Amino acid sequence: MKPVLFITGNVPAYRAGALAALHEREGIVVALTGGRSIHGGAAPAAPLPFPSLEPSAGELLSLAAGSGHRAVVCSTSGRLAPLAGWAGARRAGLPLLLWTSLWAHPRTPAHALGYVALRRLYGSADAVVTYGPHVSAYVRARGAHNVYEAPQSVDNDFWQAPARSDSTPVGQGGRFVFVGRPVAEKGLDLLLEAWGLAGGERSGTLTLVGGYETSSPLPAGVRSLERLAPEALREIYAACDVLVIPSLATRTFREPWGLVANEAMNAGLAVIASDAVGAAAGGLVRDGVNGLVVRSGDAQALARAIERLAGDPEARARMGRQGTRDVAAYSHEAWAEGFSRALASVGVSRVRW
Protein backbone atom coordinates (compact mmCIF):
# COMPACT_ATOMS: atom_id res chain seq x y z
CA MET A 1 0.00 0.00 0.00
CA LYS A 2 1.05 3.57 -0.58
CA PRO A 3 2.26 5.40 2.54
CA VAL A 4 0.33 8.02 4.50
CA LEU A 5 1.58 11.60 4.18
CA PHE A 6 1.91 13.02 7.70
CA ILE A 7 2.34 16.83 7.73
CA THR A 8 3.71 18.42 10.90
CA GLY A 9 6.01 21.28 11.85
CA ASN A 10 8.74 19.53 13.80
CA VAL A 11 9.57 16.16 15.34
CA PRO A 12 10.95 16.69 18.84
CA ALA A 13 12.59 13.71 20.50
CA TYR A 14 9.51 12.88 22.59
CA ARG A 15 7.43 12.47 19.40
CA ALA A 16 9.88 10.45 17.33
CA GLY A 17 9.03 7.14 19.02
CA ALA A 18 5.30 7.61 18.51
CA LEU A 19 5.73 8.38 14.82
CA ALA A 20 8.06 5.38 14.48
CA ALA A 21 5.32 3.18 15.96
CA LEU A 22 2.83 4.61 13.47
CA HIS A 23 5.24 4.02 10.59
CA GLU A 24 5.63 0.39 11.63
CA ARG A 25 1.84 -0.06 11.64
CA GLU A 26 0.82 2.00 8.64
CA GLY A 27 3.82 3.20 6.66
CA ILE A 28 4.18 6.99 6.69
CA VAL A 29 6.21 9.76 5.11
CA VAL A 30 6.57 12.79 7.39
CA ALA A 31 6.60 16.22 5.75
CA LEU A 32 8.34 18.68 8.07
CA THR A 33 7.20 22.25 7.56
CA GLY A 34 9.36 23.84 10.26
CA GLY A 35 8.31 26.83 12.31
CA ARG A 36 8.53 27.57 16.01
CA SER A 37 7.89 24.81 18.52
CA ILE A 38 6.40 26.22 21.73
CA HIS A 39 6.26 22.94 23.61
CA GLY A 40 9.96 22.48 24.24
CA GLY A 41 11.68 19.14 23.98
CA ALA A 42 15.08 18.25 22.63
CA ALA A 43 15.64 17.63 18.94
CA PRO A 44 15.63 13.93 18.01
CA ALA A 45 18.75 12.04 17.13
CA ALA A 46 19.40 11.90 13.40
CA PRO A 47 18.40 10.20 11.28
CA LEU A 48 14.68 10.02 12.00
CA PRO A 49 13.37 6.42 12.25
CA PHE A 50 10.94 6.91 9.35
CA PRO A 51 11.03 8.56 5.91
CA SER A 52 10.86 12.36 6.02
CA LEU A 53 10.86 15.36 3.69
CA GLU A 54 11.23 19.11 4.15
CA PRO A 55 9.06 20.61 1.39
CA SER A 56 8.55 24.31 0.81
CA ALA A 57 5.03 25.72 1.12
CA GLY A 58 4.52 25.43 -2.63
CA GLU A 59 5.93 21.92 -2.76
CA LEU A 60 3.66 20.81 0.09
CA LEU A 61 0.50 21.46 -1.92
CA SER A 62 1.86 19.49 -4.87
CA LEU A 63 3.02 16.72 -2.56
CA ALA A 64 -0.41 16.34 -0.94
CA ALA A 65 -2.12 16.50 -4.33
CA GLY A 66 0.15 13.87 -5.87
CA SER A 67 -0.48 10.21 -6.44
CA GLY A 68 2.14 8.85 -4.06
CA HIS A 69 0.03 8.56 -0.89
CA ARG A 70 -3.19 6.92 0.25
CA ALA A 71 -4.20 9.57 2.84
CA VAL A 72 -3.04 12.89 4.25
CA VAL A 73 -2.69 13.74 7.94
CA CYS A 74 -2.36 17.42 8.87
CA SER A 75 -1.58 18.94 12.24
CA THR A 76 -3.05 22.32 13.09
CA SER A 77 0.38 23.93 13.51
CA GLY A 78 1.57 26.50 11.04
CA ARG A 79 -0.29 29.11 9.06
CA LEU A 80 -0.30 27.66 5.56
CA ALA A 81 0.55 23.98 6.08
CA PRO A 82 -2.94 22.83 7.21
CA LEU A 83 -4.57 24.64 4.29
CA ALA A 84 -2.04 23.25 1.81
CA GLY A 85 -2.59 19.73 3.11
CA TRP A 86 -6.36 20.14 2.97
CA ALA A 87 -6.33 21.60 -0.54
CA GLY A 88 -3.93 18.95 -1.82
CA ALA A 89 -5.89 16.05 -0.34
CA ARG A 90 -9.14 17.37 -1.78
CA ARG A 91 -7.56 17.85 -5.22
CA ALA A 92 -6.29 14.27 -5.16
CA GLY A 93 -9.49 12.83 -3.71
CA LEU A 94 -7.62 11.45 -0.69
CA PRO A 95 -8.97 11.04 2.84
CA LEU A 96 -7.89 13.94 5.07
CA LEU A 97 -7.21 13.43 8.78
CA LEU A 98 -6.76 16.43 11.05
CA TRP A 99 -4.57 16.02 14.16
CA THR A 100 -5.28 18.66 16.78
CA SER A 101 -4.29 19.60 20.33
CA LEU A 102 -6.36 22.73 20.92
CA TRP A 103 -9.10 22.77 23.56
CA ALA A 104 -9.32 26.56 23.64
CA HIS A 105 -8.60 28.81 20.67
CA PRO A 106 -6.01 31.55 21.33
CA ARG A 107 -7.65 34.97 21.59
CA THR A 108 -5.41 37.26 19.54
CA PRO A 109 -6.21 39.20 16.34
CA ALA A 110 -4.05 36.85 14.27
CA HIS A 111 -5.66 33.74 15.70
CA ALA A 112 -9.12 35.23 15.30
CA LEU A 113 -8.52 35.46 11.56
CA GLY A 114 -7.53 31.79 11.47
CA TYR A 115 -10.45 30.56 13.56
CA VAL A 116 -12.92 30.44 10.68
CA ALA A 117 -10.54 28.41 8.52
CA LEU A 118 -9.71 26.06 11.38
CA ARG A 119 -13.37 25.52 12.21
CA ARG A 120 -13.96 24.65 8.57
CA LEU A 121 -11.16 22.09 8.82
CA TYR A 122 -12.81 20.53 11.89
CA GLY A 123 -16.06 20.06 9.99
CA SER A 124 -14.67 19.02 6.62
CA ALA A 125 -11.96 16.55 7.71
CA ASP A 126 -12.82 12.92 7.04
CA ALA A 127 -11.56 12.09 10.54
CA VAL A 128 -10.14 14.10 13.43
CA VAL A 129 -7.50 12.72 15.81
CA THR A 130 -7.13 14.52 19.14
CA TYR A 131 -4.85 14.61 22.17
CA GLY A 132 -7.61 13.26 24.41
CA PRO A 133 -11.27 13.57 25.47
CA HIS A 134 -10.90 17.24 26.44
CA VAL A 135 -9.89 18.09 22.86
CA SER A 136 -12.48 15.72 21.40
CA ALA A 137 -15.28 17.55 23.23
CA TYR A 138 -13.95 20.88 21.98
CA VAL A 139 -13.78 19.90 18.30
CA ARG A 140 -17.13 18.09 18.33
CA ALA A 141 -18.73 21.28 19.60
CA ARG A 142 -17.24 23.01 16.54
CA GLY A 143 -18.50 20.65 13.90
CA ALA A 144 -16.02 17.77 13.91
CA HIS A 145 -17.33 14.29 13.28
CA ASN A 146 -15.65 10.87 13.23
CA VAL A 147 -13.32 11.79 16.11
CA TYR A 148 -10.58 9.52 17.51
CA GLU A 149 -8.06 9.93 20.32
CA ALA A 150 -4.33 9.23 20.25
CA PRO A 151 -3.21 9.11 23.91
CA GLN A 152 -0.25 11.39 24.50
CA SER A 153 2.84 9.32 25.15
CA VAL A 154 6.49 9.26 26.11
CA ASP A 155 9.01 6.43 26.07
CA ASN A 156 7.65 4.65 29.14
CA ASP A 157 10.54 2.19 29.31
CA PHE A 158 13.07 5.03 29.40
CA TRP A 159 11.31 6.99 32.13
CA GLN A 160 10.73 3.87 34.24
CA ALA A 161 14.37 2.77 34.03
CA PRO A 162 16.14 2.76 37.42
CA ALA A 163 18.02 5.94 38.24
CA ARG A 164 20.99 6.38 40.54
CA SER A 165 19.26 8.83 42.89
CA ASP A 166 18.01 7.56 46.24
CA SER A 167 14.27 8.20 46.38
CA THR A 168 13.89 7.31 50.07
CA PRO A 169 12.25 10.29 51.87
CA VAL A 170 14.65 12.23 54.08
CA GLY A 171 13.48 14.57 56.86
CA GLN A 172 10.08 16.22 57.02
CA GLY A 173 7.84 17.22 54.15
CA GLY A 174 7.97 16.17 50.55
CA ARG A 175 10.30 16.72 47.65
CA PHE A 176 8.46 18.66 44.98
CA VAL A 177 9.61 19.39 41.44
CA PHE A 178 8.47 21.69 38.65
CA VAL A 179 9.65 21.05 35.06
CA GLY A 180 8.86 23.52 32.31
CA ARG A 181 9.73 26.58 30.32
CA PRO A 182 10.17 29.78 32.33
CA VAL A 183 7.16 31.55 30.82
CA ALA A 184 4.15 33.12 32.49
CA GLU A 185 1.57 30.54 31.42
CA LYS A 186 3.49 27.77 33.19
CA GLY A 187 2.50 29.34 36.52
CA LEU A 188 5.93 29.65 38.14
CA ASP A 189 5.11 32.85 40.03
CA LEU A 190 1.89 31.29 41.27
CA LEU A 191 3.80 28.21 42.41
CA LEU A 192 6.25 30.29 44.42
CA GLU A 193 3.37 32.19 46.00
CA ALA A 194 1.67 28.92 46.91
CA TRP A 195 4.95 27.56 48.26
CA GLY A 196 5.11 30.45 50.70
CA LEU A 197 1.48 30.02 51.70
CA ALA A 198 2.16 26.32 52.34
CA GLY A 199 4.93 27.16 54.81
CA GLY A 200 7.90 27.15 52.47
CA GLU A 201 10.64 24.81 53.60
CA ARG A 202 8.35 23.36 56.26
CA SER A 203 6.66 21.59 53.33
CA GLY A 204 9.99 20.14 52.17
CA THR A 205 12.00 21.11 49.11
CA LEU A 206 11.05 22.46 45.69
CA THR A 207 13.24 22.06 42.60
CA LEU A 208 12.57 24.22 39.54
CA VAL A 209 13.90 22.70 36.31
CA GLY A 210 13.95 24.79 33.17
CA GLY A 211 16.06 27.86 33.74
CA TYR A 212 13.94 29.98 36.04
CA GLU A 213 15.60 33.36 36.65
CA THR A 214 14.78 35.99 39.25
CA SER A 215 16.45 39.12 40.53
CA SER A 216 15.37 38.21 44.07
CA PRO A 217 16.72 35.30 46.11
CA LEU A 218 14.65 32.15 45.87
CA PRO A 219 12.66 31.25 48.99
CA ALA A 220 14.15 28.83 51.48
CA GLY A 221 13.88 25.23 50.31
CA VAL A 222 13.74 26.20 46.63
CA ARG A 223 16.51 25.65 44.07
CA SER A 224 16.60 26.37 40.36
CA LEU A 225 18.27 24.26 37.67
CA GLU A 226 18.78 24.85 33.98
CA ARG A 227 16.97 22.76 31.40
CA LEU A 228 18.29 19.20 31.69
CA ALA A 229 18.93 16.36 29.28
CA PRO A 230 16.46 13.47 29.67
CA GLU A 231 18.96 11.27 31.53
CA ALA A 232 19.66 14.03 34.07
CA LEU A 233 15.95 14.84 34.43
CA ARG A 234 15.25 11.18 35.16
CA GLU A 235 17.66 11.46 38.08
CA ILE A 236 15.76 14.47 39.41
CA TYR A 237 12.46 12.59 39.24
CA ALA A 238 14.04 9.71 41.15
CA ALA A 239 15.02 12.13 43.91
CA CYS A 240 11.52 13.65 44.23
CA ASP A 241 8.05 12.64 45.38
CA VAL A 242 5.63 15.04 43.67
CA LEU A 243 5.53 16.83 40.32
CA VAL A 244 3.69 20.17 40.29
CA ILE A 245 2.16 21.49 37.04
CA PRO A 246 0.52 24.83 37.93
CA SER A 247 -0.19 25.97 34.34
CA LEU A 248 -2.47 28.95 33.77
CA ALA A 249 -5.09 29.49 31.08
CA THR A 250 -4.22 32.71 29.22
CA ARG A 251 -5.46 34.54 26.13
CA THR A 252 -2.83 32.81 24.03
CA PHE A 253 -2.28 29.43 25.66
CA ARG A 254 -3.94 26.53 27.40
CA GLU A 255 -1.67 23.56 28.15
CA PRO A 256 -2.56 20.96 25.47
CA TRP A 257 -1.25 18.09 27.60
CA GLY A 258 1.93 18.38 29.68
CA LEU A 259 4.08 15.34 28.92
CA VAL A 260 6.08 15.93 32.09
CA ALA A 261 3.10 14.29 33.83
CA ASN A 262 3.72 11.09 31.84
CA GLU A 263 7.44 11.22 32.59
CA ALA A 264 7.00 11.73 36.32
CA MET A 265 4.24 9.14 36.68
CA ASN A 266 6.50 6.58 35.04
CA ALA A 267 9.04 7.45 37.73
CA GLY A 268 6.48 6.88 40.49
CA LEU A 269 5.67 10.49 41.40
CA ALA A 270 2.30 11.81 42.47
CA VAL A 271 1.18 14.82 40.42
CA ILE A 272 -0.42 18.11 41.41
CA ALA A 273 -1.90 19.72 38.29
CA SER A 274 -4.18 22.64 37.61
CA ASP A 275 -7.40 22.12 35.71
CA ALA A 276 -5.84 24.11 32.83
CA VAL A 277 -3.49 21.17 32.15
CA GLY A 278 -4.55 18.82 29.36
CA ALA A 279 -3.24 15.76 31.19
CA ALA A 280 -5.74 16.51 33.97
CA ALA A 281 -8.65 17.56 31.74
CA GLY A 282 -7.89 14.57 29.49
CA GLY A 283 -8.08 12.01 32.29
CA LEU A 284 -4.50 10.95 33.02
CA VAL A 285 -4.09 12.89 36.28
CA ARG A 286 -7.05 11.94 38.48
CA ASP A 287 -7.86 13.90 41.60
CA GLY A 288 -7.36 11.83 44.74
CA VAL A 289 -6.28 8.77 42.77
CA ASN A 290 -2.85 9.42 41.29
CA GLY A 291 -2.57 13.09 42.18
CA LEU A 292 -4.49 16.23 43.02
CA VAL A 293 -6.22 18.60 40.59
CA VAL A 294 -6.64 22.24 41.63
CA ARG A 295 -8.28 25.28 40.11
CA SER A 296 -6.01 27.19 37.75
CA GLY A 297 -4.72 30.46 39.14
CA ASP A 298 -5.78 29.69 42.73
CA ALA A 299 -2.69 30.02 44.92
CA GLN A 300 -4.59 29.01 48.04
CA ALA A 301 -5.85 25.81 46.45
CA LEU A 302 -2.38 24.97 45.20
CA ALA A 303 -0.93 25.65 48.66
CA ARG A 304 -3.47 23.31 50.25
CA ALA A 305 -2.53 20.57 47.79
CA ILE A 306 1.17 21.04 48.58
CA GLU A 307 0.46 20.95 52.32
CA ARG A 308 -1.67 17.83 51.96
CA LEU A 309 0.97 15.80 50.17
CA ALA A 310 3.83 17.27 52.19
CA GLY A 311 2.23 15.91 55.34
CA ASP A 312 1.14 12.52 54.03
CA PRO A 313 4.00 10.37 52.72
CA GLU A 314 1.71 7.34 52.47
CA ALA A 315 -0.65 9.22 50.14
CA ARG A 316 2.29 10.39 48.02
CA ALA A 317 3.55 6.83 47.66
CA ARG A 318 0.10 5.40 46.97
CA MET A 319 -0.67 7.97 44.29
CA GLY A 320 2.75 7.48 42.75
CA ARG A 321 2.25 3.72 42.45
CA GLN A 322 -1.19 4.21 40.92
CA GLY A 323 0.19 6.75 38.46
CA THR A 324 2.78 4.28 37.23
CA ARG A 325 0.00 1.79 36.56
CA ASP A 326 -2.21 4.38 34.87
CA VAL A 327 0.42 5.83 32.55
CA ALA A 328 1.18 2.41 31.06
CA ALA A 329 -1.89 2.83 28.83
CA TYR A 330 -0.38 6.03 27.40
CA SER A 331 2.21 4.37 25.18
CA HIS A 332 3.61 5.07 21.73
CA GLU A 333 1.78 1.97 20.51
CA ALA A 334 -1.54 3.29 21.88
CA TRP A 335 -0.90 6.63 20.17
CA ALA A 336 -0.26 4.89 16.87
CA GLU A 337 -3.36 2.72 17.32
CA GLY A 338 -5.49 5.86 17.63
CA PHE A 339 -4.35 6.93 14.18
CA SER A 340 -4.82 3.42 12.79
CA ARG A 341 -8.43 3.44 13.95
CA ALA A 342 -8.99 6.80 12.29
CA LEU A 343 -7.42 5.50 9.06
CA ALA A 344 -9.56 2.38 9.26
CA SER A 345 -12.69 4.52 9.57
CA VAL A 346 -11.99 5.97 6.12
CA GLY A 347 -10.98 2.63 4.66
CA VAL A 348 -7.22 3.06 4.27
CA SER A 349 -5.61 1.36 7.29
CA ARG A 350 -3.33 -1.53 6.50
CA VAL A 351 -4.10 -3.02 9.92
CA ARG A 352 -6.87 -5.61 10.00
CA TRP A 353 -9.42 -4.91 12.69
| b/e code 99-136 from CB counts within 10 Å (16+ = b) | bbbbbbeeeeeeeeebeeebeebbeebbbbbbbbebbb
Query: Distance between CA atoms of 285 and 273, rounded to whole angstroms?
Result: 7
3-state secondary structure of 177: strand
Segment 335-339 mean pLDDT: 98
pLDDT digit string (tens) for 246-260?
Answer: 999 998 899 999 999
- Average pLDDT of the chain to the nearest whole number: 92
Domains of the chain, first to last: 4-153+331-345 (3.40.50.2000), 157-327 (3.40.50.2000)
Query: Distance between CA atoms of 252 and 246, rounded to whole angstroms?
Result: 16
pLDDT digit string (tens) for 82-100?
Answer: 899 999 999 999 999 999 9
What's the whole-model pTM score?
Answer: 0.94
| b/e code 328-350 from CB counts within 10 Å (16+ = b) | eebbbebbbbbbbbbbbbbebbe
Give phi and psi for 206, each to the nearest 5.
-130, 125
How many residues does this entry show for the chain?
353
Segment 206-235 mean pLDDT: 92
Is the pLDDT score of 45 beyond 70? Answer: no
* Radius of gyration of the chain, Cα coordinates, nearest whole angstrom: 21
